Chain A
Amino acid sequence: MIDYAVLRLVQLVSELLRIENVHVTDHNDTILDHVSLSVHEHEFITIVGPNGAGKSTLIKILANVLTPTSGKVWRKPSINIGYIPQRFHCDPLLPIDTRYFLSLNLPKTQKGNKNKSEDQSLVQAVEQVGLDKHLLNKPLSALSGGEMQRVLLCRALLQKPDLLIMDEPTQSLDVRGQLEFYQLIESLHLQKTCSIVMVSHDLHIVMASTNKVICLYKHICCSGEGNLIVKEQAFIDIFGPELADKIAIYPHQHNHHHH
């Protein structure tokens, strides 16, 4: 009993964000159906689900971009959130180079007394995500898809986030770029830089990992470690047995039968 109480207490202290019974409707269509979810420190959660499952809506609610129709949203006071939106397009109407973009809305502690130290921290941040520092002088609208995604990640990290929220961060990348991006994210997770919540369609990568996966179809169908829930009936119901079979990487899995 005491163990349980301590465990619960630790959970509460490490909680960063919690949503309860979040419901979203749009013109009488149910987008999200009473979803409850909480994110703790050092957690890595991936949200998967078919098109129209409400993944983006859920992620926008977590990132404070959208307000739900009903339900509670709680954020740890003074939490810093780094966010990478699903679509990002820089209109060339607005002239801006990467350095200027990265320096917009930096948290106060980050602003050094001298411009030089701010610039050094920018160079450091850019190199951390595997970009060349010369990119800082490039116009934002001239970046390639892969560069842009890394610049957005760099920007999110400059917010000194407690929580990094990403909506399909690899969709505009080629296969190699996707792998590199996931390695980068995984290393952030291993270094315990921040908690991570992301939407992904790369099931073969996501389901092979031991990180938490939430399968969403308007409500949370199932959740758990990726390599475990791939065998769950709810997952198979949503993605179909063929796909679930293809994703499953363990050979013994084929001998399993679900009822």
Chain B
Amino acid sequence: MIIEPIVLSGLTAVIFISLMTAPLGCFVVWKRMAYFGDAISHSALLGVAIASSLHLPAQIGALLTSLGFAFLLVHTRKITFLANDTLLGILAHGSLSIGLIYYSFVEHQSHGDHNHQNHDGHGHELTELLFGSLDQVSWLEIGAIALGALLSLTLIICMWKKAILASINEELAKAEGIQTQLIEWLLIFLMALTVALCVHFVGVLLVTALLIIPPASARLVAKNPDQMLGASIVISLLSGVMGVGLSEIIHAPMAPSIVFSSLLVFFGLLLISKLRPQT
């Protein structure tokens, strides 16, 4: 069977996305940042919409808004007594609705103008924004993801043990001279970068699934952080490839197929870990 170029580029993108999301996802699970990831990715919609109206790459717009949003969030957290998840809910859905309003505004304009939005590659259908368009990635964009994955892996490997200690107990890490604040900011930066680079392919609503489901599945079988890192990369790659295959067979969009595959892996491992005698 000959692999079509669309499938090949989708597959390559999926591999680099896995390398980027799986290691960071471990920290998202450990530090309970899932809501935070959701909020950042929702805010990315506004960035994508603005970038598309200015004819800039979607990734740059998404990176700027998600970084700005993360910054806003960390500072609002300091001045309010509201619980973290409440605050995240307010800001996430707020920014999502601003993004949607802006998007509809831009769409009206371009429809009224020339109706050319899909010809220059900068127009985005709303469903693509929300659920991704892995079948339309260019090799340039894949290169950007590969660079992002390299940067993310390097940073995470460099701070691995220190960041683990900071995740277990921040006070202990501080007393032992670890720059916990720097680690916190690096993780937030990587989160924004990951969302920005992946949001175009997997969509605003599904990015967090890639960050959470493989590490959560890995947690079911891992006994220490190294095993969890390895297992979540393997699971992420596996469900990525499964998802691309599935989407070809049943002619479904790629991103939801990948998330669905990782869900299957999660429940498979959950079943195995419950059936296996506890050690």
Contact = CB atoms under 8 A, between A and B. Distances in A.
Q: Do A and B come from one complex?
A: yes
B164 interface: yes
Contacts of A60: 171
A94 B161 contact: no
B130 interface: no
B162 A94 contact: no
Interface string A33-71: 000000000000000000000000000100111000000
A85 B171 contact: yes
Contacts of B176: 81, 83, 105, 159
A96 B175 contact: no
Given A94-B30, A104-B164, A165 B222 contact: no
B178 A105 contact: yes
Interface stretch (B16-24, B63-71, B102-110, B224-232): B224-232
Nearest to B173: A105
Q: How large is the interface on A (under 10, 10 to 19, 20 to 34, 35 or more residues)?
A: 20 to 34
Contacts of B167: 94
A145 interface: no
Contacts of A65: 171, 174-175
A104 B165 CA distance: 7
Contact of B165 (A82, A105, A165): A105
Contact of A105 (B161, B171, B219, B226): B161
A84 to B, nearest CB: 8
Contacts of A63: 171, 174-175
A95 B232 CA distance: 13
Contacts, number: 69
Interface of B is mostly: helix
A194 to B, nearest CB: 14
Given A100-B224, A100-B225, A104-B164, A91 B30 contact: yes
Interface string B247-262: 0000000000000000
Contacts of A139: 223
Contacts of A182: none
B149 to A, nearest CB: 23
B169 interface: yes
B175 A165 contact: yes
A97 B172 contact: no
B175 A83 contact: yes
Contacts of B164: 94, 96, 104
A93 B219 contact: yes
Nearest to A88: B169
B266 to A, nearest CB: 15
B277 interface: no
A85 B172 contact: yes
A90 interface: yes
A56 to B, nearest CB: 10
Contacts of A159: 176
A239 interface: no
A93 B29 contact: yes
A63 B170 CA distance: 12
A174 to B, nearest CB: 24
A101 interface: yes
Interface string B30-43: 10100000000000
24 contacts: A63-B171, A64-B174, A65-B174, A81-B175, A81-B176, A82-B175, A83-B171, A83-B175, A83-B176, A85-B169, A85-B172, A85-B175, A94-B225, A95-B219, A95-B222, A95-B228, A100-B225, A104-B168, A105-B162, A105-B173, A105-B176, A139-B223, A140-B168, A159-B176
Interface of A: 60, 63-65, 81-83, 85, 88, 90-91, 93-97, 100-101, 103-105, 139-140, 159, 165
Closest CB pairs A-B (n = 6): A83-B175, A63-B175, A85-B171, A104-B165, A65-B174, A94-B30
